[in-house]
Structure 1
Amino acid sequence: MKAHFQTDQGQVRTHNEDSGGVFFNRTGQLLAIVADGMGGHQAGDVASQMTISFVGDRWEQTDCFDSSEETEAWLSDILQETNQELLDHARENEACAGMGTTVVATVCTADFVAVSHVGDSRCYKLDMDGFTQITEDHSLVNELVRSGQISKDDAEHHPRKNVLLKALGTDDEIAADTQTIKWEIDSKLLLCSDGLTNKLADDELSSFLKKDQDIETICSDMIELANDRGGEDNISLIIVHHDTAREEGEA
């Protein structure tokens, strides 16, 4: 199983509020996570970096996960714990008041992927059945689409497109959406912040993932295109390629 994380400040922002990483637990199981921070005085980067560090460190201390149920429970619990860490930090540090972050995290085993997210950072899957968006944005515009008030095309240009309904670090209780999906050999996952999805359409994302290139090159090419189209936001992504049946040491 291969994975690669890449992030870019973009063409407009003065600093990068995105964070992410790929981590392995004691038995070699993989966690991929992307966070897109928000908040004044650079507090967004504090929120996203704290999230990645906290979740990654905890993952590295775990042992093998055999069932989807225990994996989903771990993800849901760790994001609630992370939420509390962010709230406590903001209350103790005035410069971080109001900070928050989106997050999308996947635990990838040989047979299944557990996905958990809060906000509008996304997870997609490419397999024999095609290209699918796994997560549903926790955003005002997505709720308007789901309720039939606007179309998907309208959503792309809606003036309140960036309004989130959920984020880590903004409420005492946060309910992450968590699910498990199956995957097979040669499937790929894409985790990304909205700096990528605001610039590349789904069919373009799919075309990139289908390329017979190493995942590092694909990540770089996707970021380059997003920047060529304006790069107004930070751009972050992880590609996970299920290229082997089972990692050494994985149960």
Structure 2
Amino acid sequence: MKMVSRTDIGKVRQVNEDRAAIWHELNGLFLAIVADGMGGHQAGDIASQMAVDIVGSELQSIHWGMPVEACKQVLKEAIEKANEQIYAFASEKENYHGMGTTVVAVIASQELLIIGHIGDSRAYKIAGESITQLTEDHSLVYELVKTGQITLEEAEHHPRRNWITRALGTEPGVEVDLYEYAWRPGDTILICTDGLSGLVDSGDILRIIKSYDELESAAEKLIQSALDKGGDDNVTVVLLGHDSDSDEKRGDGN
């Protein structure tokens, strides 16, 4: 398994409120977390850093061989604990009231992905010539799409497309979405903030990832593509490549 993380402040923002962390080996498993903070007075970057730190710390107990449901429970409780601590921190300091963050945490074994998710940061799976969004956005426009009030195409350009309906740390309690997916050698997982997914469509994301043998090059091109399209937000990507046998799975023939 290969993992790479890249982030950029973008062309407009004064502070990078995105955070990401990867653990290449965690008791036989692999872990990646992405968080996109929000809130004034630099509260967003504090919220996202707390989310990555707390969730990462709480997940140090996971291990290969742990039952899937037990692993899901540990992930759920880790995100809930981060929510409680961010909310408590913000409640104690007037400048930080209302601060929060998205979070996507992916626990990967050689066969399985377990994902915990809140907000509009996303996880995708690239398999063969297809790309699949693995998470559902907690956003106003996604709710409008689900109820048939607007189309997916209209959602991409909606003036309120950045309004999220669920965040980490803004309320005393939070509902965590949990997902379980299979993956196999040759597949790639992308975790990203909306600084990428809001500017670069899934077809272009697929094309870029399939165009590069090295994850590092693909991650850098994804970042550059968001910057080329305006870079109006921080942009963060994490790529997980399943090539457990050899790099041949990514097509370099070595």
TM exceeds 0.5?
Answer: yes
Contact kept? 2:36, 2:102, Cα under 8 Å: yes
Q: 1:26 to 1:227 in 2, by over 3 A?
A: closer
Q: C-alpha distance in 1, partners of 2:72/2:24?
A: 17
Contact kept? 2:102, 2:167, Cα under 8 Å: yes
Partner of 1:240: 240
| Structure 1 portions without partners, runs of 5+ | 247-251
Given residue 44 of structure 1, which amino acid in structure 2 is its aligned partner?
Answer: G
Mapping 1:100-249, distance limit 5 Å: 100-128=100-128, 130-244=130-244
Given residue 14 of structure 1, which amino acid in structure 2 is its aligned partner?
Answer: Q
The alpha-carbon deviation at position 116 of structure 1 amounts to 1.2
Q: Aligned with 1:53: secondary structure? A: helix
Given residue 214 of structure 2, which amino acid in structure 1 is its aligned partner?
Answer: D
Q: 1:113 to 1:147 in 2, by over 3 A?
A: same
Q: Aligned with 2:186: secondary structure? A: coil
Q: C-alpha distance in 1, partners of 2:220/2:115?
A: 24
Matched, 1:87 2:90: no
Q: C-alpha distance in 2, partners of 1:54/1:46?
A: 12
Q: C-alpha distance in 2, partners of 1:225/1:188?
A: 19
Question: Could you give the per-residue CA deviations for residues 48-103 of structure 1, whole angstroms, max 9, x where no partner exists?
Answer: 00111111122234433533212211111111111001011112222211100001
Q: Aligned with 1:236: secondary structure? A: strand
Matched, 1:39 2:49: no
Q: C-alpha distance in 2, partners of 1:196/1:129?
A: 20
Q: C-alpha distance in 2, partners of 1:233/1:212?
A: 25
Q: Which moved more, 1:95-104 or 1:52-61?
A: 52-61
The alpha-carbon deviation at position 177 of structure 1 amounts to 0.7
Contact kept? 1:25, 1:61, Cα under 8 Å: no
Q: C-alpha distance in 1, partners of 2:191/2:124?
A: 7
Q: C-alpha distance in 2, partners of 1:208/1:175?
A: 33
Q: 1:54 to 1:98 in 2, by over 3 A?
A: same
The CA RMSD measured in Å over matched residues stands at 1.5
The alpha-carbon deviation at position 173 of structure 1 amounts to 1.4
TM-score (norm 1): 0.94
Q: Which moved more, 1:200-209 or 1:62-71?
A: 62-71
Question: Could you give the per-residue CA deviations for residues 140-199 of structure 1, whole angstroms, max 9, x where no partner exists?
Answer: 100000110100111111111111110000111111110100011111100000000111
Partner of 1:249: none
| Identical amino acids, percent of aligned pairs | 39
Q: 1:70 to 1:129 in 2, by over 3 A?
A: farther
Q: C-alpha distance in 1, partners of 2:207/2:146?
A: 26
Q: Which moved more, 1:211-220 or 1:52-61?
A: 52-61
Q: 1:159 to 1:26 in 2, by over 3 A?
A: closer
Mapping 1:47-86, distance limit 5 Å: 47-86=47-86
Given residue 198 of structure 2, which amino acid in structure 1 is its aligned partner?
Answer: N
Q: Which moved more, 1:197-206 or 1:69-78?
A: 69-78
Q: Which moved more, 1:180-189 or 1:71-80?
A: 71-80
Q: How many residues align?
A: 246
Partner of 1:20: 20
The alpha-carbon deviation at position 23 of structure 1 amounts to 1.8
Contact kept? 1:107, 1:115, Cα under 8 Å: yes
| Structure 2 portions without partners, runs of 5+ | 247-254
